[in-house]
Amino acid sequence: MNQALPQHEHHPAGGGDTGERIAGLVERARRAMAEFHNSDQARVDEAVTALAWSLYKPERATQLAALAVEDTGLGNAADKVIKNQRKTFGTLRDLMRVRSVGVIEEDADRGIVKYAKPVGVVAALTPSTNPSATPVNKAMMAVKGRNAVIVAPSPAGLATTTTTVDYMRRELGRIGAPADLVQVLPSPVDRAATSALMEACDLVVVTGSQNNVRGAYRSGTPAVGVGAGNVPVIIDSSADLDDAAAKIAASKTFDNATSCSSENALVILDDVYDDAMAALRRAGGYLAGPEEKEAIARTLWVNGRLNRRVIAKDAEVLRSEMGLANAAAGARFFMVEEDALGLFADEKLSLVLTVYRARDFEDAIARVAGILEVKGKGHSCGIHTRDADRARRVAESLDVVRVLVNFAHTFGNGGGFDSGLNFTLSMGCGTWQGNSISENLGYRHFLNITHLCTVIPEDKPAEEELFGAYWARWGR
């Protein structure tokens, strides 16, 4: 299938009126759902596999990676190829192992049988950082539940996302499934069209800007939104320092730090600080001096906002824009030492890593908590350690959904082949960040569940069993 891609097939009803355009898309989606509704699990899984192949196919993964960089100016094509394939393959693995049609769970002891039903037409808002991987990821999960999905692209990634959706539709057509199970909001993609889409659908799933997440929750449609990342990672006294540095470097530099799971700050214990910094330099890090730190700040932020000219750019482009010394040439990423919770405590979306020195482990936890208050509360953090008790202490103490231990954070947080978290490109952050979910987005979020309940032997304990301890201590 190397022939030229045809013009996008969508012809919204009603001319240019936004409401009529959206109504036409939703009507087509509902017709496709009705046609697909009686599909059995094997047929559903075939459709999900078709969607996966639409992006996993090597020439498409490569083409769409290059188009994404051209389209958005973010990241690098080589890593986007890996992301397109790795995330898609991992999600397919997860989805092929679960049921989503008919009876999906039986609990004889409780007399409960659970039946999966579609949620309806899904509005899927997707970001410019992943304009091909995220639409496919969401479409696979949605179609797993026999839903239809209408993708609302970031305007910056419109060409990539539109081409990605065309490939998904082509693969659905190839197996005789309704192509309109997956559609894309056509140009012009603006706030009015996206808002109208959210209001017209049955579920909104948002990955991207927090303005879009808040808009989804205000739309009046049930919504799943995810939060912003700003990952801080502790390097503990017991860590394997070279292993930690290698993993941090690989994760930080992947796709030029476009991932919300990319490390943004390191908190290093004082007693290993110098050795850890040496390990990070061996892994390709360059430590900026005080004047260079000021130059980085001036370049990375303009009027308090991240500078799109330098975010998610290659290291050499970033070095040149920041005016760093020749000694920084060849560095994979750039480090700045910090003590305060100012600009450098924020998410940077670039190959800049903030480093804090902690007096002791409790100070390290406090510093991580402070960083998360700046941004990223609820999302995730990490620790490199050989001490399982310290990892548990982090999990007990900090308000995050995920704590990763000895991981390259980007490759474990959204699922990994050595991580028990499911593959996704959308990470819920709980009520800590105003989200409705505190887990990775997964197929279950695209299902309604009917509970068949039958009579079981009575399960009513005596009053003494429930109140006895209270009565004994406090009386009746």
Burial pattern 7-44, b for ≥16 Cβ within 10 A else e, equals eeebebeeeeebeebbbbbbebbeebbeebeebeeebb
Query: How far is it, in rounded angstroms, from Cα 204 to Cα 354?
Result: 35
Domain that holds residue 289: 231-414
Q: Determine the pLDDT at residue 345.
A: 97
Query: Do 262 and 395 fall within a single domain?
Result: yes
Query: Do 271 and 363 fall within a single domain?
Result: yes
Whether 425 is covered by a domain: the verdict is no
Query: How far is it, in rounded angstroms, from Cα 170 to Cα 73?
Result: 27
Whether 470 is covered by a domain: the verdict is no
Query: Do 319 and 189 fall within a single domain?
Result: no
Query: Do 235 and 222 fall within a single domain?
Result: no
Whether 152 is covered by a domain: the verdict is yes
> 16 pLDDT band (50/70/90 cuts)?
low
> 11 pLDDT band (50/70/90 cuts)?
very low
pLDDT tens column, 270-308:
999 999 999 999 999 999 999 999 999 999 999 989 999
Whether 431 is covered by a domain: the verdict is no
Say how many domains are in the chain: 2
Query: Do 310 and 386 fall within a single domain?
Result: yes
Whether 169 is covered by a domain: the verdict is yes
Query: Do 204 and 278 fall within a single domain?
Result: no
Q: Determine the pLDDT at residue 211.
A: 85
Query: Do 254 and 392 fall within a single domain?
Result: yes
Query: Do 191 and 65 fall within a single domain?
Result: yes
Q: The CATH number of the domain where 348 resides is what?
A: 3.40.309.10
Whether 369 is covered by a domain: the verdict is yes
Whether 475 is covered by a domain: the verdict is no
> 4 pLDDT band (50/70/90 cuts)?
very low
Cα→Cα distances 336→251, 292, 343, 345, 408, Å: 17, 9, 12, 11, 20
pTM listed for this prediction: 0.93
| Helices 158-174 and 41-56: angle between axes, nearest 10 degrees | 140
pLDDT tens column, 355-412:
999 999 999 999 999 999 999 999 999 999 999 999 999 999 999 999 999 999 999 9
The active-site residue, picked from 260, 381, 429, 453, is 260
Task: Answer for the pair 435, 429: CB distance below 8 angstroms, yes or no.
Answer: yes
Q: The CATH number of the domain where 156 resides is what?
A: 3.40.605.10
Is 260 in the active site? Answer: yes
Whether 429 is covered by a domain: the verdict is no
Q: Determine the pLDDT at residue 209.
A: 82
